[in-house]
Every structure is written in C-alpha cells, then in structure tokens.
C-alpha cells in the first residue's frame, strides 16, 4: 500500500468575522467556489443550537443540534472553541479542523469576535483574520431582513445592536474588506487568500 503523502507544513486558518449580515458566509462560499482556490481551501462547518433558516442545509451552513447534544460534545472536548450569540450556542468541531491543518489544507471559518480572538491565540502563526464591513448600518439591516423573511423584528433589533459593538473591533483584524459590491469584495478576499496561503 502506498504511504499517504504527509507534509510537515500546517495549513492556514482564515477567520472571517464581522456583523451578522455583513456577508461573511457569502464571501467564504464564493472564495471556495473559485476552481483554483477550492482545491486549497475547505470550509469548517460549525455546530449550532440556533434553529435552521429555510435555505440552510444540514452539514453545509451548520450542523444543527439541540442544547443537550452541544453540551455533550463540549464535555467530550469535541469542540475547539465556542460562543453564545443571542442565546444560542455555536462551536467549531475540533477533529476536522486539526486534521485539515495537519494535511496542509487551508481552512476558512466564519466566526464571531470571540472565536477570531481564540483561534488567533491558539494558532498565532497560522491564523489570518479578516473583518467584513457592511457599506452602512441601513444596508446591513436590509441584508439581514432580506436573507430570511421569517427573521423576527426583535431578532433583527438584537443583531443590529450587536453589530454596532462588533464594528468597533474592525481595527484589530489583519485585514478589513468593505462588502459593497460583491464581486469587488470577493476579488479582495481572493487576493488576500492567495498572498497569505503562499507564505
Ligand atoms: P453573514 O454570513 O455575515 O451573516 P450573509 O453572507 O448571510 O451574511 O449575507 C447576508 C445577506 O446579504 C444574504 O442574503 C446575502 O445574499 C446578502 N449579501 C451579501 N453580500 C452582499 C452584497 N455585496 N450585495 C448585496 N447583498 C449581499
Ligand atoms: P448566525 O446566527 O448569523 O449564523 O451566526 C451568529 C454569529 O455566530 C456570527 O457572527 C457567526 O460568524 C458566529 N459563529 C458561527 N459559528 C461559530 C462558531 O463555531 N464559533 C464562533 N465563535 N462563532 C461562530
């Protein structure tokens, strides 16, 4: 049997952060859809206790679990980092991420500020942090509303309140991308990825 190819070089972690609705998921998905980049980058799929939005698919955007299962995985140390956002839990599965990195694959994650901070601390030399800025708060609200028509008024209000706080952290990130025109923002992200993954 042929020995599996191994590389001593770890892959890189690309953490995409920014307010809800700023376009993190859209940008990361577009990046991975690029033919060349898609071979070099995989998306980490978090687990969450938040209810599934109508267009979301199990195992694509998230693995949807109940709070009991989330706690079980946390206790079993299956979650590398986690956060609580608007009353729901979100966490990064440990094993897939570690395997991908050891296989020299680059991993992209959409995380809140806490997740970005923790991964940068855990893997300081391998983590690139990118903050996605919306063109304005009004546009951000429109995008949150437009994404899912079932999002309740109260939830939109809470996400907007958090967004105002989160925007203040933009300066702490390695890169900031203004997501006004989607194709311009995707090109910027591609440039960052190609530059950072080659060093
Ligand atoms: P996040 O992952 O940051 O919460 P999403 O990627 O889900 O945000 O984007 C929120 C909504 O905004 C989605 O409906 C998405 O299609 C839309 N969107 C993202 N980027 C743009 C853009 N540049 N112009 C217009 N709509 C956008
Ligand atoms: P949403 O409900 O909009 O999908 O996600 C809410 C917030 O949780 C977003 O900022 C998203 O990036 C973040 N998030 C999603 N998964 C994880 C995770 O596994 N860890 C952390 N720290 N944040 C996450």
Q: What is the pLDDT of residues 122-162, one digit of tens each?
A: 999 999 999 999 999 999 999 999 988 777 899 999 999 99
Q: How confident is the model at residue 90 (pLDDT cuts 50, 70, 90)?
A: very high
pLDDT of 181 over the 70 cut: yes
Could you tell me the distance, in angstroms and rounded to a whole number, from the CA of residue 104 to the centre of ligand 2? 25
Phi then psi for residue 41, to 5 deg, are -135, 135
Mean pLDDT score, 186-192: 98
Predicted pLDDT at 84: 97
**Where do the DSSP E strands lie in 65-159?**
79-85, 88-93, 106-110, 127-133
pLDDT of 3 over the 60 cut: no
Could you tell me the distance, in angstroms and rounded to a whole number, from the CA of residue 90 to the centre of ligand 2? 6
Give Cα separations from 106 to 11, 23, 27, 127 (angstroms).
5, 20, 16, 10
Whether 38 lines ligand 1, by a CB cut-off of 6 Å, is no
Ligand 1: nearest atom to the Cα of 147: 14
Whether 147 lines ligand 2, by a CB cut-off of 6 Å, is no
102, 95, 94, 107: which is closest to 42 by C-alpha?
Answer: 107
Q: How confident is the model at residue 5 (pLDDT cuts 50, 70, 90)?
A: very low
Predicted pLDDT at 8: 57
Q: How much is the mean pLDDT over the chain?
A: 94
Question: What proportion of the chain, given as a percentage, has pLDDT over 90?
Answer: 89
Give the Cα separation of 19 and 165 in Å (integer): 9
């Amino acid at each position: 049997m042929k020995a599996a190819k191994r590389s001593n070089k770890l892959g890189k972690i690309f953490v995409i952060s920014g307010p809800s609705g700023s376009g993190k998921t859209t940008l990361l998905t577009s990046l991975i859809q690029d033919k060349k980049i898609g071979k070099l980058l995989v998306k980490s799929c978090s687990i969450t206790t938040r209810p599934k939005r109508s267009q979301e698919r199990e195992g694509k955007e998230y693995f949807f679990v109940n709070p009991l299962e989330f706690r079980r995985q946390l206790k079993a140390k299956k979650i590398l980092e986690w956060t609580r956002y608007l009353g729901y839990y979100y966490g990064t599965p440990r094993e897939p991420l570690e395997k991908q990195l050891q296989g020299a694959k680059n991993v992209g994650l959409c995380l809140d500020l806490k997740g970005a901070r923790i991964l940068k601390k855990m893997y300081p030399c391998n983590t690139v942090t990118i903050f996605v800025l919306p063109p304005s708060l009004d546009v951000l609200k429109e995008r949150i509303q437009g994404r899912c028509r079932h999002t309740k008024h109260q939830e939109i209000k809470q996400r907007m309140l958090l967004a105002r706080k989160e925007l203040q952290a933009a300066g702490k990130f390695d890169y900031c991308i203004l997501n006004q025109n989607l194709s311009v923002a995707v090109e910027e992200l591609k440039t960052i990825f190609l530059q950072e993954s080659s060093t």
